[in-house]
Structure 1
Amino acid sequence: MFSFNKYYFGLTVLLFMTEALIALYAHDQFIRPYAGDFLIVIFLFCLVKAFVKAPSNRVIVSVLTFSYLIEATQYFNLVHHLGLDQSKIAPLILGNHFSWIDMVAYTLGAIVIFSLQSSPEASLPVR
């Protein structure tokens, strides 16, 4: 079950750096709100695949479900209910604003992963 995959680990590092750059420098109305959410699903998929040998479809569904759950915590304002309003890290991890567009971005990220994994000429190795 646990298995280190250097290919997915490399993608994880690359996507993490991209997300960090977006968080630090993209203060626009498109890249930060949409591309970041789109990429986070791909990042989480690669992170799991870097350390866990599991069927890609199962990982895609799990990551997408996790992303939806995090978005649901935003809908119910979990950060506030936990008394973490003043925390700098809690809103970063859990978010603080529910958006249906975020759900679409997560879904599109999952669709891209699925498409790459199921394509015979996929650039991502199926493992």
Structure 2
Amino acid sequence: MPGKRHYALIAVALFAIEVAIALRWIGGEFIRGSVGDVLAVMFVYAVLRAITPWSMPKTALLAVAIGFAVEAAQYVHLAERLGFAKGSVMYVLLGNTFSVMDLLMYTVGGVLAWALDRRFG
């Protein structure tokens, strides 16, 4: 899709930052626990903008909803229930610790992605 390439590049950059955070190459607990959640939703937003024709508001809402769904999966310990080993890729992606603060960070990420897209997109 012409004109969508910059969203894919942003997604790749955000993914690289998220990997660096997950591997603890950058940041401490605050970065990993809060900034990482903000960036995760921004990553989902960028991916969705790269591959869909959806509006900014719809994309932001869906990105936040995906974050909330992941958090709900953590609330019920889905990774454990599915038998993923601690430290496995799927276990790390799903996580296993519910936090209301994460929901706030996902919301911040969605609002920030939308605002930046409106300003610079």
Q: Do the two structures share a fold, i.e. TM-score over 0.5?
A: yes
- RMSD of aligned residue pairs (Cα, Å): 1.6
Taking the aligned partners of 2:82 and 2:22, their CA distance within structure 1 comes to 24
Q: CA deviation at 1:27?
A: 6.0
Equivalent residue pairs, number: 119
2:92 is the counterpart of 1:81: no
Q: Greater helix share, 1 or 2?
A: 2
**Matched-pair identity in %:** 29
* Greater displacement, 102-111 / 19-28: 19-28
Partner in structure 2 of residue 22 of structure 1? 21
TM, length-normalised to structure 1: 0.85
SS of residue paired to 1:83: coil
In the alignment, residue 112 of structure 1 is paired with which amino acid? Answer: L
In structure 2, the residue corresponding to 1:98 is in which secondary structure?
A: coil
Q: Which residue of 2 aligns with 1:12?
A: 11
Q: Which has the larger radius of gyration?
A: 1
Q: Which residue of 2 aligns with 1:61?
A: 61
**Which residue identity does 1:9 align to in structure 2?**
A
Give the superposition deviation at 1:86. 4.6
Report the CA distance shift for 1:59/1:18 in structure 2 as closer, same or farther (over 3 A): same
CA-CA distance at 1:112 after TM superposition: 1.0
Gaps of 5+ in 1: none
